[in-house]
Amino acid sequence: EPPDVPNNFTCQTQDMKRVICTWSQGGDTYLYGPHSPKYTLFEEFSKKFIPCTVSCSEQCSCSWDVGQQRIFNITVTVENPLGKKTSMDVFDVTHRIYPTAPFQLWEECTNTEITLYWKHKNKGIELVCQTEVLQPNGKTRLQNSSGTHLDYSSITVGGLQPYTEYTARIRCGAAQHFWRWSEWSKARTVRTMESSPSGKLDIWREITPVLGGWNVTLFWKQAPKFQANGRNISYEVTWEKIEEGSKPETISLSSVYNSTSIFIDNHSYRISIVAKNNVNCSLPSVLIIPRATEALFCSFLGTELLEEEQVNGTDDGIFISWETRHMYDSYVIDWCNFPMLQPCDFQWKRFDSNTTSALINSAAFVPGVRYKFHIYGLVANRASLLEKKTGYLKELPPLYDPTVEKIDLTSNAVTLFWDYNLTNESGFVRGYHVYVSPVQEDCSLEGSKKHILPDDSVLCKYTIENPEEKKYTVKHLLPNTKYRLVVKAYTGGGETPIVNFRFIDTPFNSNMLYLLVLLVLVPSFVAALCHWKIKWVMEGCCPEIPSPSRSKALSFKEFKIGSEKVLRISDCIPDVLAVDNMVEAQKL
């Protein structure tokens, strides 16, 4: 193939003594040996070929001595047996200066400035140089310096943080007729000098009543605007009574500590904490602990008496909001990252007076753990407890099932009594579910909802929405039937699967038993009695021969022989007299 046009053909100098031209080689011609591409450089003004040797790797280059000539018109030609191509560059050597990279960097430092020095090989050429400073936050800062023409150059970079590492490098270009920057120098890491700590520590406290006073645990951390500005950081805690001129007490702690505990009596105290380095101290951070008879006692009682409000978690944290109070100049929320442990990794966060809500997040927050938050208002370094919140990053089903302690059973109803500890759960207990069904069949009791188990069996489900209600009566049961039942607590995270049932047997219905007695036994008894007295009844009700003693005809003046009434013939006049038996007649 014929050769490609030499692209990006440019010429430049580093020292005004020698020019180097470079260009892109182009694609493969697939011709080798004596037929491979040949390069020549020709200068149009002098009508001479440039005496240089072309070398090609990633790109092609060729260099030669400038001599006295300053303006050039260079044509590069590439040819092979299949064709040739050319490119041209017209330039003034003084406009094509590409300096060598600075070298041998060194520095002088203060606490906020770095002065960098370096050497360069471009003697007699006025340079402009650019310094790149890499800051601790990853951002870069560029600063230019001009008028550099000595054996060494320098630049001062100000506005830096004390006792902080910076990485700097330098490049230069021609001050007149700027062409392009040189390569960067080797990077140099420099640390500024120490200075007094800037800003204040962010401090907070936890107060516990003890015999004769209060145990105050003090915590501190470096606020966002705080800068240690040095090494060998330590902390100094000072406390003194406000009411009387007592001597302050002071303790010093090394940088590995971020808390300490002190005992104070029932007086008001001023507590201050400063950070120290080898140079000086930071400004003090101050807390006022009021007298026990004042706001402190009220604040401690408030911890016990204020009702906790439930708050909701999100994927990003736990959302907290509070009522604004215009008398406070800031707010503080504190909590424990590990509320079940001691120490609990006590944390706090500070907000300005215009803030009334916050999303509290922590890498330590996990689902199923209840976190408690205290919200304080601060004015003149005095804190007052305002609100209490409690919530979960994410609620989980309850850890335990309620304990059924008592069962009242009738033939068609069962009343369950259970006990359940609502605290230390994996979610807010919202209520209870009572599940029941006959052992041998699905359930369809009146007033219930259906609940289908994984084995497709159907339970009756009853919901108690008040977590304080720990009693429920299931009605409309069948007598003399075996039932299975279970009580489950549920939270915002649901409830655990049903595993274990409790079994009951409903008794016979006593009313049905009485009815059975009335309908079966009484008629049977009457029938037996009637059969036993049938002759007596028949003789009494319809005898074959009526007894004369029961006849109205015997309603005469009483005359007895023994126990029987006797009718004397003289007492009556019969219509007809018949004698059936002679023997009887004889007796008469």
Tell me if 466 is assigned to some domain. Answer: yes
**Residue 20 near residue 11, CB atoms below 8 Å:** yes
pLDDT above 80 (res 61): yes
Q: Dump pLDDT digits (tens) for 461-504.
A: 999 999 999 999 999 889 989 999 999 999 999 999 998 899 99
Q: Are 451 and 425 in contact (CB under 8 A)?
A: no
- Looking at residue 555, what is its pLDDT? 53
- Three-class secondary structure of residue 301 per DSSP: helix
Asked whether residue 526 is domain-assigned, the answer is no
The dihedrals phi and psi of 479, each to the nearest 5 degrees, come to -70, 155
Tell me what pLDDT residue 342 has.
87
CA distance 448 to 284: 66
| Domain region containing 267 | 201-295
Encoded tokens for 76: 């590069």
Q: Does residue 557 sit within a domain? A: no
Distances (CA, A) of 56 to 6, 12, 77, 87: 12, 17, 14, 16
φ/ψ of residue 132, rounded to 5: -110, 125
pLDDT digits (tens, 9 = 90+) for 33-59: 777 888 889 989 989 998 888 888 888
Average pLDDT of 216-224?
93
Please report whether residue 208 resides in a domain. yes
DSSP structure string for 329-340? SEEEEEEESSTT
80 lies in a domain?
yes
Q: Is the pLDDT of residue 533 over 60?
A: yes
Mean pLDDT calculated for residue range 247-259: 93
Tell me which of 295, 319, 348 is where a domain ends.
Answer: 295
In a domain, 519, yes or no: no
Alpha carbon distance 424, 69 (integer Å): 92
pTM over 0.75: no
Q: How confident is the model at residue 182 (pLDDT cuts 50, 70, 90)?
A: very high
Has residue 248 got a pLDDT over 70?
yes
Q: What is the pLDDT of residue 323?
A: 92
Closest to 156 (Cα-Cα) out of 116, 109, 110, 106: 116
The pLDDT value recorded for residue 115 is: 93
CA gap 325, 331 in Å, rounded: 10
Let me know whether 277 and 351 are in one domain.
no
Q: What percent of the chain has pLDDT over 70?
A: 82
Judge residue 406's burial from the number of C-beta atoms within 10 Å of its C-beta, 0-12 exposed, 13-18 middle, 19 or more buried: exposed
Confirm if 61 and 20 have CB atoms less than 8 A apart: yes
- Domain tally for the chain? 5
Find the range with the poorest average confidence among 76-85, 172-181, 518-527: 518-527
Indicate the average pLDDT of the chain.
85
Instruction: Say which residues have a Cβ less than 8 Å from residue 508's Cβ, sequence separation at least 6.
Output: 411, 479, 480
For 320, what's the count of Cα atoms within 13 Å in the CB-facing half-sphere? 29
273-306 CB burial, b ≥16 within 10 A, e <16:
bbbbbebeebebbebbbbebeebbeebbebeeee
Q: What are phi and psi of 145, to 5 degrees?
A: -135, 150
Look at residue 521 and tell me if it is in a domain: no
How much is the pLDDT for 120?
83
377 near 325, Cβ under 8 Å? yes
Integer distance in angstroms from the first to the last C-alpha of the chain? 176
408 and 472 share one domain: yes
Cα dihedral angle (554, 559, 563, 567), rounded to 10 degrees? -40
Query: What pLDDT, on a 0 to 100 scale, did the predictor assign at position 563?
Result: 57
* The pLDDT of residue 26 is above 90: no
The CATH code of the domain that includes 119 is 2.60.40.10
Range in 185-194, 200-209, 373-382, 551-560 with the lowest mean pLDDT? 551-560
Q: Does residue 106 carry a pLDDT above 70? A: yes
CA nearest 383: which of 374, 392, 396, 391?
Answer: 374
Tokens of 423: 């605290």
Q: Counting runs of H as helices and runs of E as strands, what totals does the chain give?
A: 5, 39
Shared domain for 385 and 417, answered yes or no, is: no
* Domain shared by 308 and 291, yes or no: no
Domain identity same for 376 and 414: no
Looking at the structure, tell me whether residues 431 and 366 fall in a common domain: no
Confidence at residue 148, expressed as pLDDT on a 0 to 100 scale: 56
Name the nearest CA neighbour of 60 among 39, 80, 83.
39
Residues 409 and 495 in one domain: yes
Residues 410 and 490 in one domain: yes
Query: What number of residues does the chain have?
Result: 588
| Nearest to 319, CA basis, from 374, 252, 392, 385 | 392
Note whether residue 587 is domain-resident.
Answer: no
Q: Strand locations in 316-428, DSSP E?
A: 318-321, 330-336, 346-352, 357-360, 370-379, 382-392, 403-409, 414-419
Strand ranges, E, within 192-297: 201-210, 213-222, 234-241, 249-254, 259-264, 269-276, 285-289
6: number of CA atoms within 13 Å, CB side? 27
* CA–CA dist 572, 281 (Å, integer): 152
Q: Which of 276, 295, 314 is the C-terminal boundary of a domain?
A: 295
* Position 28 confidence tier, pLDDT thresholds 50, 70, 90: confident
- Do residues 225 and 286 share a domain? yes
Statement to judge: residues 248 and 340 lie in one domain: no
Rounded-to-integer distance, Cα 588 and Cα 579, Å: 10
The DSSP code for 67 is: T
Angle at 393 between CA 221 and CA 486, to 5 degrees: 145
What pLDDT is recorded for position 445? 87
Count CB neighbours of 186 within 10 A.
Answer: 12
Q: What is the DSSP string of 29-65?
A: ----GGGS-EEEEEETTTTEE-----EESSSEEEEEE
Give the pLDDT band of residue 516 (cuts 50, 70, 90).
low
Mean pLDDT to the nearest integer, 326-341 = 93
The pair of three-digit structure tokens given for residue 534, joined into one six-digit string: 């049938």
The percent of residues in the chain predicted with pLDDT above 90, rounded, is 52
The Cβ of residue 412 has, within 10 Å, a number of other Cβ atoms equal to: 15
Average pLDDT over residues 573-587: 58
Digit-coded pLDDT (tens) for 409-456: 898 899 999 999 887 678 999 999 999 999 888 888 888 899 989 888
Q: Are 425 and 392 in contact (CB under 8 A)?
A: no
Highest mean pLDDT among 180-194, 410-424, 529-543: 180-194
Residue 295: what pLDDT? Answer: 47
Q: Which residues contact 158 (CB under 8 A, 6 or more apart)?
A: 112, 113
Confidence of residue 520 (pLDDT cuts 50, 70, 90): low
- For 266, residues 6+ apart whose C-beta sits below 8 A from its C-beta are 212, 213, 214, 291, 292, 293
Residues 224 and 274 in one domain: yes
List for the chain the helix, strand, coil content (%; round to 5).
Answer: 10, 45, 45
Lowest mean pLDDT among 172-176, 190-194, 424-428: 424-428
Would you tell me how many other CB atoms lie within 10 Å of the CB of residue 60?
A: 20
Angle at alpha carbon of residue 478, lines to 477 and 480, rounded to 5°: 125
- DSSP 8-state secondary structure symbol assigned to residue 284: P
The reply to whether 246 and 284 lie within a common domain is: yes
Q: Which of 173, 191, 209 is the last residue of a domain?
A: 191
pLDDT for position 81: 82
Residue 573 has pLDDT above 70, yes or no: no
Instruction: Identify the CA nearest to 209 among candidates 146, 263, 269, 153.
Output: 263
